[in-house]
Structure 1
Amino acid sequence: MYELDRPVSCSIGRAMDILGERWTFLILREAFYGVRRFSDMQRNLGIARNILSTRLQTLVAHGILERRLYQEEPPRHDYRLTEAGRDLYPAIVALMRWGDRHLSGECPPVVLRHNTCGHEADPLLVCSHCHEELDPHEVTPERNVDVASV
């Protein structure tokens, strides 16, 4: 087995500091489904108001969601995915597909339909250079020489 001289600071660890709590990915799922309002998220998730508020504040503070005023009297805000938030879509889909394959039984509860071709989508992780599907046995992690040692 290949042993990587792991840096002290790791992108997975930093991401999990922000995203590693159970409710966070469920809130993001709701955002990807187009749910924007606090009350709708709370109802859909069955989450306590204080927990939802804390998680939304964290996602806003880290630039994953933005809070926008949609009504002035009384002031009401909604939450929208930022570019950083939209970049989490592959992670959300990967978790969903893993759950479908290993936890949901025979039939997945939600399917992804590709709007362009109309077919059910089963996304793949592929190499950006050759477009072959990535297999963990065919990928070698290497320390990035452009990053100063931390």
Structure 2
Amino acid sequence: MNGTVGATGATGGRDGVDAGGPRGARGAGAGAAGAAGGAGAGAAGPRAGGAGDPGGDAHGGGPRIDPTTLPGRPCSLASALQLVGDRWALQAIREVGFGNHQFSQIARNTGAPTDRLAARLKALVAAGVLERRPSPDHPRYPGYYLTPAGRDLGPAIRELLQWGDRWVVTEPPTRMWHHPHGHAAGEHELHTRVVCASCGEQVESADIRREMTAPGWDITGPVRDE
């Protein structure tokens, strides 16, 4: 099933990443996003994928990971966490999406130790999630910007933020607003939901059937040879 994040609106942030959300928001995709946030000890950079590794993404991403080389179940979530599962990685991506492109801004707004942050930013650039280039306002000082792969993390970050609003924090510290285009309604608070791109129905976990395509695995685990 092809799933897309529907909403009372799309994103309203810069570079495609927003923050915050209503405390009672029903983040239909929060389960996956919450899992991504829960495994915060991912590797600092991409892991080589072996002989089948294409070495890069034609659409601007970094080196690809062969999921069968990782411990446990071959899974794109586990592979993604190798790149962005570290505590500081998603916070750095959040700040770049807010329009804070300079290292000093990212360090100040994440609270990350500068040596750790420098390593994470370097890894995110190597992975094709961020790019480093001169800033229009400060040409002498290169800044960090989201690539298409980085912008594609926007929905996951928004769902994780809404999950945090609902289940973790005492009071949501930020809020998302939607600016509709070609719609009579004015600006309004953003509430998202996940809908199937094929049929338009809202997606619930109970309606999803998962199929393992990696050889030697099914949903219960490794398949034993009879």
Q: Pick the TM interval, shorter chain.
A: 0.7 to 0.9
What residue in structure 2 maps to residue 4 of structure 1?
A: none
Counterpart in the other structure of 2:196: 127
CA drift at 1:82? 0.4
User: What is the RMSD computed on CA atoms of the aligned residues?
Assistant: 1.8
Q: Aligned residue for 2:92?
A: 27
Match of 1:115 among 179, 186, 195: 179
State the 1:109 CA deviation.
1.5
Per the alignment, residue 83 of structure 1 pairs with: 148
> Equivalent residue for 2:215?
149
Residue in 2 aligned with 1:3? none
> Which portions of structure 1, spanning 4 or more consecutive aligned residues, are displaced by more than 6 angstroms?
none
- What runs of 5+ residues in structure 1 fail to find an aligned partner? 1-6
Cα deviation, 1:38-73, whole Å, max 9, x if unaligned, reads: 01111111211111100100110010000002356x
Tell me what 1:137 maps to.
206
Q: Which of the numbers 16, 41, 61 marks the counterpart of 2:81?
A: 16
Cα distance between partner residues in 1 of 2:78 and 2:91: 19
* Distance in structure 2 (CA, Å) of the matches to 1:126 and 1:23: 30
C-alpha separation in 2, matches of 1:32 and 1:141:
32
Q: Return the alpha-carbon distance in structure 2 between the equivalents of residues 130 and 120 of structure 1.
A: 26
Identity of aligned residues (%): 38
TM-score computed with the length of structure 2 as normaliser = 0.57
Q: CA deviation at 1:128?
A: 1.0
Matched residue, 2:32: none
1:77 alignment partner AA: P
Q: How does 1:22-61 map to 2 (within 5 A)?
A: 22-61=87-126
Cα distance in 2 between the residues matched to 1:80 and 1:92: 16
Task: State TM-score, norm by structure 1.
Answer: 0.84
Q: Give the Cα–Cα distance (whole angstroms) in 1 for the partners of residues 201 and 74 of structure 2.
A: 30
Which structure has more helix as a fraction of its residues?
Answer: 1
- State how many pairs are aligned: 138
CA distance in 1, matches of 2:78, 2:198: 27
CA offset at residue 140 of structure 1? 0.7
